[in-house]
Amino acid sequence: MKITIASGKGGTGKTTLSTNLTSYLASQNRKVVLADLDVEEPNSAIFLKGKLKTEQVFNKMVPKWDSTDCTLCGKCAEVCNFNAIIDLPNEIRVYPALCHSCYACSELCPTNSLPMTPERIGEICEYDSDNFSLVEGRLDLGQEMAVPLIAGTIDFVDEKFDGYIKLLDAPPGTSCPVIEASRYSDFVFLITESTPFGLNDLRLAVETMRVLKQNFGVIINRYGIGDNGVEEYCQVENIPIVTKVHNDKEVAKLYSKGELIYPKIEHFKNSLDEIVEFIGGIK
């Protein structure tokens, strides 16, 4: 079972929910692994204090110009959909940060002047504790392309954690990284807050999930602030509300200290129970 925790709006509680749910499921002797796919700023490891077990370099494949037989025909730049190759009068320039590793330039080059070569873009770290595992994708500074590393982190988890409940903590937004983090899951939790901002971005996230034909439900966080917009929207759109997590300053205090919430706050634990029960009903 693979479940993605996504949001749309940033700062609605993806990581708080992911880390607490992981620990809570583990405390009930469930086999659980959390993948932190917010590869531009992974921070789940702050809350789930595990021991670093493995650390491996992650490469993506990029073309490298070999001038030997190149005729500067410009086919490579013409077929690149991502502006990663510029053909100048006397040379070909490759911009690896823009490359999506589609191989088009390399395959279509008449003189084989753009062989694909590995380039480091980040690393995948695995942390272990007594009863859960955490796998974290971490993009190197200056790298722009999160998707290959997100895909690589999911592959890593799939290979090593067969039979586990896999929770995927997605990055915010609705663009390619979120889609990559959501498309292969059995279910997606969209966590939002009951404010006009939360609703605006929830709508965008819902549209994205519908394009992906993905099953999803909504978790309302900081319930009690804002207005009824999110609830009304979910009712009209027939979207299940999995739980409402009450707004509580004590939760924020624990979070700011890097502590887990559910061991200390009862209503938060009750919300996790509702989520666990909901997961039990996912086909």
Partner 1 sequence: MKILFTAKGSEWSSPMDARFGRMEMMVIYDEESDTLEVLPNSETEAMEHGAGLQTAKKVLKHSPDIIITGNGAGGKALDILKTSNVKIFIGAGDMSIKEAYEAYKNGKLTEQL
Interface positions with partner 1 (CB under 8 A): 82-84, 86-88, 91, 93, 95, 98, 144
Nearest C-alpha neighbor of 110 from the set 55, 73, 151, 85:
73
Nearer to partner 1, 2 or 75 (CB): 75
Nearer to partner 1, 136 or 180 (CB): 180
- The least distance separating partner 1 from the CB of residue 147, rounded to whole angstroms, comes to 13
Q: Where are the beta strands (DSSP E) in 73-212?
A: 85-87, 92-94, 116-128, 133-139, 165-169, 187-193
Give kind and range of the element (H or E) at residue 216.
strand 216-223
Nearer to partner 1, 144 or 227 (CB): 144
Q: In whole angstroms, give the CA distance from residue 49 to residue 128.
A: 8
- The least distance separating partner 1 from the CB of residue 91, rounded to whole angstroms, comes to 8
- The least distance separating partner 1 from the CB of residue 152, rounded to whole angstroms, comes to 21
CA-based torsion, 238, 268, 187, 182: positive or negative: positive
Q: In whole angstroms, give the CA distance from residue 87 to residue 89.
A: 7
Residue holding tokens 């509580």?
248
- The least distance separating partner 1 from the CB of residue 90, rounded to whole angstroms, comes to 8
Nearer to partner 1, 93 or 253 (CB): 93
Nearer to partner 1, 144 or 259 (CB): 144
Nearer to partner 1, 82 or 184 (CB): 82
Q: In whole angstroms, give the CA distance from residue 187 to residue 18.
A: 14
Residues 6+ apart with CB under 8 A from 63: 76, 85, 94, 99, 105, 106, 114, 115, 116, 117
Nearer to partner 1, 95 or 233 (CB): 95
Q: Are the beta carbons of 42 and 130 closer than 8 angstroms? A: no
- The least distance separating partner 1 from the CB of residue 94, rounded to whole angstroms, comes to 11
- The least distance separating partner 1 from the CB of residue 83, rounded to whole angstroms, comes to 2
Nearest C-alpha neighbor of 34 from the set 148, 120, 156, 144:
156
The DSSP bridge partners found for residue 62 are 117
- The least distance separating partner 1 from the CB of residue 78, rounded to whole angstroms, comes to 12
Assign 126 to helix, strand or coil.
Answer: strand
